[in-house]
Chain A
């Protein structure tokens, strides 16, 4: 009871604090952030999206600029796990350059053959461990542009990555006539997508289909007129332009569908059913289909939440909804209002677990066994909160996930960490069996383990393994931000992140945009630390090198005085005062301010502050009692510190009696199990 009440109290306080910060930021940016729901549905004309009132607002689209909108019609062959479809793409050249070619991503071709970049990636080191047992691919049968004539453009397509011609996930399509700046082009495509057996987000398991990255998708057109196109790498994710999606799905009548956006029509046709979904202002469309889904609907704030789950997972649904109840309003307050009217949560069956833990606009896939949370773990809450927060750091702030994965996964991991800590307190990762572990502690440990491998702002494909990517991009980014929050103030950091999320809502910011926002809100020093830590393998390790003590007594010895030689004997008994010295070193490049605590043998404590500049700091001590301990960073603000255990030095080390007692007890119990 005490523990839960404490957690609730902590969570309440943190939420209150967050809301306070959010309220402050909200009022500052009120003019830029009206409710978007109405605007999203208005079908604003391309190019009219950006307001012109202020320079800051110029960066802040009230509604997304519809660069690539899709009208699709697809029929699911549930037995063959194939989707046959047509799509009409309305594409706006918002760049200042005429475009003579387009780039398409055909992500499903990652599973077409072993020559793809994806399948050449080292499996077991990527996000999942499965390799497709059944191939998946996408065939584009036709591509026409009515405004350019009736000719099929697709035969002219070529590999988009010339240095990797075997990969078919990145395709270049020359245009017969360049597309002028500001002009719009409509493309009509016919395609057939064969799903692979489930592997990383996509595919089928039994009669379950998760249909993601399944349609020919235009690469993102950058503001300079270049396309951000890349082969689909096992460690990378996606990047696309905003648009509206109008998708009609023809599925077996008994199939339950969970999809991006909201269902606007559902019409039975014999043993089939046709559902129509609309999603405005998003940059992807995915859907799951399974006849065995159970469903729970709940309204959280203004959002209709729909949870689809396998039988027996009712416990997980409770955990999921509890997490959403807490996290959705919190994230809206901190990072800007969730602008969509729906959120669909898909919990895949166990044998399709690879589809879980993934985010799409207005659709998240969770995962975990049916007994999650029963024994103190927060697995369901963690994955739910993480994928939900991607609605902001991926969905609403659409960064290039392949080029700068830390911008989506790292920021999301930090926001997740804070949300779970606010929700559960010290037991935010696990709380059971007399053991409470926080997400912060675990992320810190992962972050420290591979701190120096390579800059964590690297592209996803540059990481040698997913373990390294996870430790750096997810854990270390979160730890860096948590350290900045503890050093420069939680309110200021949340304000910085909130401003970044609001400023670049419906935009495609780069790492520099993040750094600049943090510099504006947190100051130049924090910006320097952030840039160094994120882009230059910046590390820090404070350590106490030594503690010295000496009694301060009246001088003794042989003295030649004016009146003659005098021998002063050594004073006996306790000294009236003691002198001491503590030597503190800073290893690494990051210069962070730190507190140092001096503890004397009588238990007296005093603190000193070091700005962290320079390689070493010496503290001279004088007191009535000998110096017993010196502790750097006693409040554990610097989670980035490579080694927390060298942060203290003692004149006399404490015995580890608690550890010995506990280890002895467990050994006694273990002996009881194996002996008669």
Chain B
């Protein structure tokens, strides 16, 4: 289980590095590395050289975004394997050999990929609809600007809540897959049943690790602000890098805790269903 979490973290870090490398290369090509301070200048207050690098690299941003989209899809697909391993570890009811375990996890990769892709598309769709609705409501501007904005914001908040629910549903479906659902479609159906039957229990299981994760991100953002890598001391960079990776590791652990909570809710219900069928 711990190994699965660490593997998931390491895989995400590697995937992120793949996505970030072109950005690093673009900035390096700007010439900022020729200054004695290197890219520390980009983090100085005032942002003189940060703005200059953005200006100099502006024309590169659209092709960079396009290539990042492609590599993003690849990374998205590749990270399904550690996800499948994590889910499989969480769904394990009895010890099994490494080969058997990995074979089971790999066999589930297509189903997990389908669930992840479907969940992502559903979230994008919901958010797009939310944005459209918010835009429509905001377009009916009145002199009461605050009210207009708050109405639009409410539409967005509802959309965000729905998108979050889509994510929870995807995870619950993942849990059913981990607990033995035959394929992605069966997992989705079973997950939807559990989602509708135990929304509050799921919300409670989700809320605590999600809140902890959010708090962790905010706390470290605050700490990093205080550390100010725009200043020259070398330890600042190291400290920030370590803090950031601790956040990502912490988020991975929070996610695993939520997955385990979901499995604990899903498993008895699935067993009850199969018991009833027998």
Residues of A within 8 A of B (CB): 2, 206-208, 292, 310-313, 349-351, 369-371, 425-427, 433-438, 440-442, 444-445, 448-449, 544, 599, 628-629, 631, 636, 643-646, 648-650, 653-661, 663-672, 674-676
Contacts and interface: CB of A to CB of B under 8 A. Distances in A.
Interface in B141-189: 141-149, 167, 170-171, 174
B20 A667 contact: yes
B62 interface: no
Given A441-B51, A650-B34, A656 B24 contact: yes
Contacts of A437: 46-47, 50-51
B253 interface: no
Contact of B45 (A427, A645, A661, A676): A427
B237 A657 contact: yes
Nearest to A664: B20
Contacts of A207: 143
A3 to B, nearest CB: 8
Contacts of A371: 149
Contacts of B241: 661
A380 B147 CA distance: 20
27 contacts: A310-B145, A351-B142, A427-B46, A435-B47, A437-B46, A440-B46, A444-B48, A448-B55, A449-B55, A599-B36, A629-B34, A629-B35, A644-B49, A645-B31, A646-B31, A648-B36, A653-B33, A654-B37, A658-B237, A661-B237, A663-B23, A665-B244, A665-B247, A668-B16, A670-B19, A672-B12, A672-B251
A311 B146 contact: yes
Interface stretch (B93-101, B128-136, B221-229): B221-229
A657 B56 CA distance: 19
A13 to B, nearest CB: 16
A349 B229 contact: no
Contact of B119 (A425, A648, A676): A676
A440 B48 CA distance: 8
A321 B227 CA distance: 33
B124 to A, nearest CB: 9
Given A351-B143, A631-B36, A667 B16 contact: yes
Nearest to A630: B34
A668 to B, nearest CB: 4
B83 interface: yes
Given A653-B33, A676-B116, A426 B145 contact: no
Interface centre among A208, A312, A442, A664 (most CB of B within 10 A): A664
Contact of B244 (A349, A646, A661): A661
B38 interface: yes
Contact of B39 (A434, A636, A658): A658
Contacts of A442: 51
Given A660-B24, A675-B116, A370 B51 contact: no
A241 to B, nearest CB: 37
Given A434-B221, A669-B217, A675-B79, A369 B145 contact: yes
A371 B146 CA distance: 8
Contact of A441 (B48, B145, B225, B226): B48
Interface centre among B19, B34, B39, B248 (most CB of A within 10 A): B34
A436 B224 CA distance: 14
B20 A350 contact: no
A351 B24 CA distance: 42
Interface in B4-21: 12-13, 15-17, 19-21
Given A206-B143, A351-B143, A661-B237, A671 B15 contact: yes
Given A349-B143, A654-B38, A660-B20, A671 B48 contact: no
Given A648-B34, A661-B237, A674-B76, A310 B39 contact: no
B193 interface: no
A420 B159 CA distance: 38
Interface residues of B, number: 75
A649 B48 contact: no
Contacts of B49: 644-645
A631 B143 contact: no
Nearest to A449: B55
A664 B48 contact: no
A676 B38 contact: no
Contacts of A449: 55
Interface string B40-65: 10111111111111111000000000
Contacts of B237: 657-658, 661
Contacts of B45: 425-427, 436, 438
B68 to A, nearest CB: 9
Given A206-B143, A672-B12, A438 B46 contact: yes
Contacts of A669: 217, 248, 251
B247 to A, nearest CB: 8
B33 A655 contact: yes
B75 interface: yes
A436 B47 contact: yes
Contact of A659 (B27, B36, B48, B255): B27
Interface centre among A2, A349, A661 (most CB of B within 10 A): A661
A653 B34 contact: yes
Nearest to B259: A676
Contacts of A656: 24, 27-28, 32-33, 38-39
B47 A438 contact: yes
A24 B221 CA distance: 46
B158 to A, nearest CB: 19
Contacts of A351: 141-143
Contacts of B198: none
A181 to B, nearest CB: 52
Given A371-B149, A665-B244, A441 B47 contact: yes
B234 to A, nearest CB: 10
Given A350-B143, A664-B244, A672-B255, 7 more contacts: A426-B47, A645-B53, A649-B34, A650-B35, A660-B23, A664-B16, A669-B251
B206 interface: no
A581 B56 CA distance: 28
Contacts of A445: 51-52, 54-55
B270 interface: no
B30 interface: yes
Given A437-B51, A656-B28, A664-B17, A676 B36 contact: no
Contact of A676 (B35, B115, B225): B115
B126 to A, nearest CB: 14
Contacts of B35: 629, 631, 648, 650, 654
A445 B48 CA distance: 9
A676 B83 contact: yes
B79 A671 contact: yes
Nearest to B112: A676
B106 interface: no
Nearest to B18: A667
A135 to B, nearest CB: 22
B192 interface: no
A676 B174 contact: yes
A643 to B, nearest CB: 7
B46 A667 contact: no
A449 B58 CA distance: 11
Contacts of B224: 434
Which of A433, A434, A438 has the most CB atoms of chain B within a 10 A radius of its CB? Answer: A434
B240 interface: yes
B46 A441 contact: yes
B221 A668 contact: no
Contacts of B48: 438, 440-441, 444, 636, 644
A370 B146 contact: yes
A666 B17 CA distance: 10
Contact of B19 (A646, A661, A667): A667
Contacts of B55: 445, 448-449
A672 B19 CA distance: 13
Interface string B191-206: 0000000000000000
Contacts of A433: 221
**9 pairs of A and B residues whose beta carbons are closest in the complex:** A654-B38, A312-B146, A663-B20, A426-B45, A667-B16, A660-B24, A426-B46, A645-B31, A350-B145
